[in-house]
Amino acid sequence: MRADEIRQLARRSRIGRGVSVLDLCCGVAGPGRLITAESGCRYLGLDYSASTVEIARALAGDLPCRFEQAHVPPLPDGRFEVVLLLEAMLAFPDKRVLVRNVARALEPGGRFAFTLEEGRPLTPRERARMPDADTVWLIESAELTAVLREVGLTVTWQEECSASHHATAVAMLQSLRADSAEIARQIGARALAELITAHQLWSEWLGGGRVRKFALVAEKR
Ligand SMILES: C[S@@+](CC[C@H](N)C(=O)[O-])C[C@H]1O[C@@H](n2cnc3c(N)ncnc32)[C@H](O)[C@@H]1O
């Protein structure tokens, strides 16, 4: 996500000083660190990758961010005012289980702020082309809205960001190609080839409307 998109989502989900924020699948917490630095929220980031959590902690420096290594679901005990899930909804094959856990972790009036890769599930042919296809589970908008409604979450804001995410995927593809020798030296030729294939597919799908990207906020009644 671009910084302006992250700021917009933070504003729409009313993140501010002292607001408790749980960031699921935080990665190295680029968005989480930006939001914490600019809002003064109380931030907890979770990711199942130990090395990623270690990097996130080091990058956070003196920021009042907390991180834990955890596989979600389940979610930690406690009530949060905001749950974030950025660029990771597609990793969950069962959105119903995830969203039910999110609803439980939110206090009444709490907000679930997330990005969504929207579209029909991948066909077997598309799955065969996509590296790590077991982490790519698309869902159609109507189905997700119904799943949210079932657990008491109502969409209060949404915005399509397919064009900017397409532009980012294209720019990343160009960079991967331009710096391919150095990247291959660091991560290996096979991992680089997979990254290039994945970015090619995302560029194609986002550019051609096969997948659409949205930022949303859903509120707990
Ligand atoms: C594409 S990154 C997104 C990182 C971050 N949210 C961002 O927007 O920059 C997805 C992250 O989700 C983590 N992840 C995927 N499935 C997970 C799960 N079930 N539990 C915890 N972390 C998970 C991965 O380790 C990875 O760091």
pLDDT, tens digit (0-9, with 9 covering 90-100), for 123-159: 999 999 999 999 999 999 999 999 999 999 999 999 9
Name the pTM for this structure. Answer: 0.97
Q: Is residue 202 part of a domain?
A: no
pLDDT band (50, 70, 90) for residue 29: very high
Q: Which domain holds residue 67?
A: 3-162+209-220
Q: Within a domain: residue 199? A: no
CATH number at residue 117: 3.40.50.150
180 within some domain = no
Residue nearest to atom 23 of ligand 1 (CA): 25
Q: What is the pLDDT of residue 123?
A: 98
34 lines ligand 1 (CB under 6 A): no
| Total domain count, the chain | 1
Tens of pLDDT along 206-218? Answer: 999 999 999 999 9
Residue 181 lies in a domain: no
Residue located nearest, by CA, to atom 14 of ligand 1: 25
Does residue 49 line the site of ligand 1, with CB under 6 A? yes
pLDDT band at 94 (very low <50, low <70, confident <90, very high): very high
- Taking the centre of ligand 1 as the mean of its atom positions, its distance from the CA of residue 120, in whole angstroms, is 22
Nearest Cα neighbor of 2 from 150, 168, 138, 171 is 168
30 Cα–ligand 1 center, Å? 12
CA-CA distance, 65 to 97, in Å (whole number)? 27
- Mean pLDDT of all residues belonging to the chain: 97
For residue 1, which atom of ligand 1 is closest to its CA? Answer: 8
Pure H helices in the chain: 3-12, 30-39, 50-60, 95-105, 124-129, 141-150, 162-178, 180-187, 189-208
State in Å: Cα 71 to ligand 1 middle: 10
Residue 40 lies in a domain: yes
Sign of torsion over alpha carbons 186, 46, 61, 116: positive
Distance (Å, rounded) from C-alpha 130 to C-alpha 56? 27
Classify 199 in phi/psi space as left (phi over 0), alpha (psi -120 to 50) or beta: alpha
Task: Please indicate, yes or no, if residue 125 is contained in any of the structural domains.
Answer: yes
Q: Can you read off the two tokens belonging to residue 117?
A: 């890769």
How does pLDDT run across 40-92, given as a tens digit for each residue?
999 999 999 999 999 999 999 999 999 999 999 999 888 999 999 999 999 99
Q: Report yes or no on 110 lying in a domain.
A: yes
How many angstroms does the Cα of residue 27 sit away from the middle of ligand 1?
A: 5
How far apart, in Å, are the Cα atoms of 26 and each of 66, 71, 138? 11, 11, 20
Tokens representing 26 are 């935080």
